[in-house]
Structure 1
Amino acid sequence: MPSASPSAPQPAAHPALVLGGGIGGLAAALALHRRGIPVTVHERAASLEPVGAGLALAPNALRALDLLGVGARLRALAVRHPAVGLRRPSGRWLARTDTDAVQRHFGDPVLAVARAELIAALVDALPPGTVRTGSPAALADPGDAATPALVETVDGPVPASLVVAADGIRSAARSDLFPRHPGPRYSGFTTWRTVIDSPDRPPAAVGEIWGRGALAGIVPLAAGRVYVYAAALAPAGQRAADGDEHAELLRRYGSWCAPLPELLSRTDASRVLRHDVWELTDPLPAFHRGRVALLGDAAHAMSPFQGQGACQAIEDAVVLAAAMPPRRSGSDPVSALPGYSAARLPRTSRIVAGSRSISRLVAVRSGPGTLLRDTALALAGRLPDRFLLDRSAPTYTWQPPTIPDRRN
């Protein structure tokens, strides 16, 4: 009887694979790299040209970015404005906050940057070749303590000791890991975002304007640009009848207070982005299974009304990397994933719920309801800054764990 042929040797497991090259995936890759863990990012898009216009980096995220070595680069892009606030469409102020007070209270400002600038900072800090664009990858097996995870790539299946699923709100990895979870739900809001490159003059008033079931925001960016965003209640999937979202913005917001109409009139119609807002209102049972860690929108997609979506993804990245054992210790990364879930799930669940609470205030549409809401906001706006800022303290005062730099 012929002897059985020996089985083919199995390839060694890759230390870490990241699925998704957005902010969360790139931050995770950089955090793992600084931890001394070789990492590859698989991004299905042909380039990392960001989808989006601008975003807010709150003090909690800035501390994490400092830990990753890119905070100073982003702070250099800061545009100082003496005050930000909240107005009605008529222009009447409901509340204003001294921006210096935010920095004094938390040690850092809330910094507005173009999404492209954050993406570039993260990519430039990674070793060349870390990010593979045009490289779709899918989780085939989450693995367990005894076997590696398996990821299908364009080059074939790749075993991995750790898989970071940063594949967004429609995460295929999340669906595979938790098939009974209901997934994202529509928030009731649709959003528009754009950047105006050359306004006639810097906006004299910045911050948000709240109307009936709608808001708009004006944020200065570096190089004289202005980020404008808006949100409004609308059925899921609804779009401008003629496909002209710029005209839709003017129709909805063109009669609101200055400088919003002027800014919108100068907007390049081709750069207006519209997206519906979906959120994970039902927390996941965990942010991991087997050797897979969920991160960012894949784990805790939230409405944008606290400006914490990207911030929480960056927090996820540094907490995950800090939990990883040193490569030379002989410990298995799989043992650290329950601690990652335990650290991140309660905090992100609270922030998701907080963003949803703010969305309910924005959603008020009736005349009496709007009057009651605006009166309450105006009364709160008369309180000293420290009382208002203390409401943000549970979010903004977060401190990142230490990540020893073991790149050498």
Structure 2
Amino acid sequence: MGQPGHAVVIGGGIGGLTAAVALHQRGLRVTVLERARSLEPVGAAISLAPNSLRALDVIGLGDEIRDLAAWSGDGGLRSPKGRWLSRSSAEAAARRFGGPLVLLHRATLIERLAALLPAGAVRTDAAATLVDSGGPGRAARVATADGELEADLVVGADGIRSAVRGTLFPHHPGAVYSGWTTWRVVIPVPGARFTSHETWGPGRIWGTHPLKDGRVYAYAGATTPAGGRAPDDEKSELLRLFGDWHDPIPAVLAAVRPEDVLRHDVHHIADPLPAYHHGRVALLGDAAHAMTPSLGQGGNQAIEDAVVLAHHCDELAAYTAARRPRTTAIARQAVKVSRLSLMSSRTGLALRDTAMRLLSPAGPALFLRGFDGIADWRPPQTDAVCSEQTPAGNG
């Protein structure tokens, strides 16, 4: 038997590391190239739904992450004055989809994934450029500052502004501005007692959720022109937008320091790519299908991509066939939800909120129904290893 096939993963985020672990466990030698100086992620928390937790089961990490679940009891959607628009519960979600919803800091997940890789597999401060996507009988080639690497498989996990995507599909328009921006914080809030919730106001949203480590994850969104910044600081901007909303929002804002706040415009891929692969290269996560965070599925879909890619590592056309329809549908649904949640028309708001309150007595399952077909996904099952010449190099 010859040497195991070599997979090069460009990007050391959650999707890239999950793919590296899954491919390593399928018998490939993996190299992860991360351009940042460390794996410490830019971002705050991530919400993992039962679908991505089942994907993590494939690499043996699911139960470890489930143990970090903090949501219990009721939750749901509220108005800025605190009125419940729609109720749900952690127990109802677990019953409906066969598992919990877990919120954790991205750094925690990154650390657990990296620990599953062989020593030396991850190279930081390692910018990479795809030179040749490869093909039948021809390896793909990736250029780094230390020279070129040949690979049987290259995984483009380099995010929303993916250079790998631009090389494979140079005429695709890429990601576009969605019309709104987000703010995120993960902080301790002494004495905070609250029910996990998301609040919808005119052109604005706010979410507050507990983490297992005792901190609070809060996020906000508002419709605004692209590239905007607060004239003073982002905490002050949040106070202007949300300071008079219901408890515990004022207490969270009081605990925030300006330097705690991350602000990012929301971009998404509105025009789906023609494929998620070319030659010996596959795209995953935001590089393939960046979506608005309205459903909290961006990271979840990247994790799904990773284990499905490992399952189809010998036939990348099958990977595209398995992932493109699902992620396209979820991305479109996320846009619809963002339009609903960020509605600003007074008449539309009144109709939306009244309808949600009237339908709420139908039970917690009503709030969860939007995740049918998403959170109940299950990964493909396989015991095979990737072949030594991976993949078939289909175009």
TM-based fold match above 0.5: yes
Superposed, 1:7-406 pairs within 5 Å as 15-197=6-188, 199-242=189-232, 244-324=233-313, 333=314, 336-404=315-383
Give the SS at the match of 1:150.
strand
Scaled by the length of structure 1, the TM-score of the pair is: 0.91
CA-based RMSD: 1.5
Q: Distance in 1 between matches of 2:156 and 2:31?
A: 12
Task: Note the C-alpha offset of 1:81.
Answer: 2.3
- Following superposition, the deviation at residue 390 of structure 1 comes to 3.5
Structure 2 gap segments, 5+ residues each: 387-395
Partner of 2:390: none
Larger radius of gyration between Structure 1 and Structure 2: 1
86-95 or 261-270, which deviates more: 261-270
Measured in 2, the distance between the counterparts of 1:403 and 1:203 equals: 44
What do the CA deviations read for 1:282-308 (whole angstroms, capped 9, x no partner)? Answer: 110000001100000000000000000
Q: Percent identity?
A: 52
CA contact (8 A) 1:220 1:227 kept: yes
Q: 1:368 deviation in Å?
A: 1.2
8 Å contact 1:34–1:405 — kept in the other structure? no
TM superposition shift of 1:226: 0.5
Q: What whole-Å deviation, never above 9, does each CA across 1:91-118 have from its counterpart, x for those lacking one?
A: 1110111210111111101111111111
Amino acid at match of 1:341: T
Cα deviations across residues 111-157 of structure 1 (Å, max 9, x unaligned)? 11111111111011111211111111110111111311110012111
Match of 1:402, SS state, is coil
Unaligned runs of 5+ in 1: 1-11, 325-332
Mapped to 2, the partners of 1:302 and 1:395 lie a distance apart of 14
Contact 1:60 1:396 in 2 (8 A): yes
**Range with greater deviation from structure 2 (148-157 or 301-310):** 148-157
CA distance in 1, matches of 2:80, 2:122: 44
Q: Distance in 1 between matches of 2:202 and 2:271?
A: 27
After superposition, give the CA deviation of every residue in 1:311-355 in whole Å (9 maximum; x if it has no partner). 00000000000112xxxxxxxx3xx00000000000000000000
Are the equivalent residues in 1 in contact too, given 2:71–2:196 (CA < 8 A)?
no
Structure 1 consecutive aligned stretches of length 4 or more whose deviation exceeds 6 Å: none
State how far apart, in whole Å, the 2-side matches of 1:235 and 1:101 are: 38
How does the TM-score come out when normalised to structure 2?
0.94
**Number of residue equivalences:** 384
Aligned 8 A contact 2:187 2:216 in 1: yes
Q: Is the 1:112–1:221 Cα contact (8 Å) retained in structure 2?
A: yes
In structure 2, what is the Cα distance between the partners aligned to 1:132 and 1:377? 49
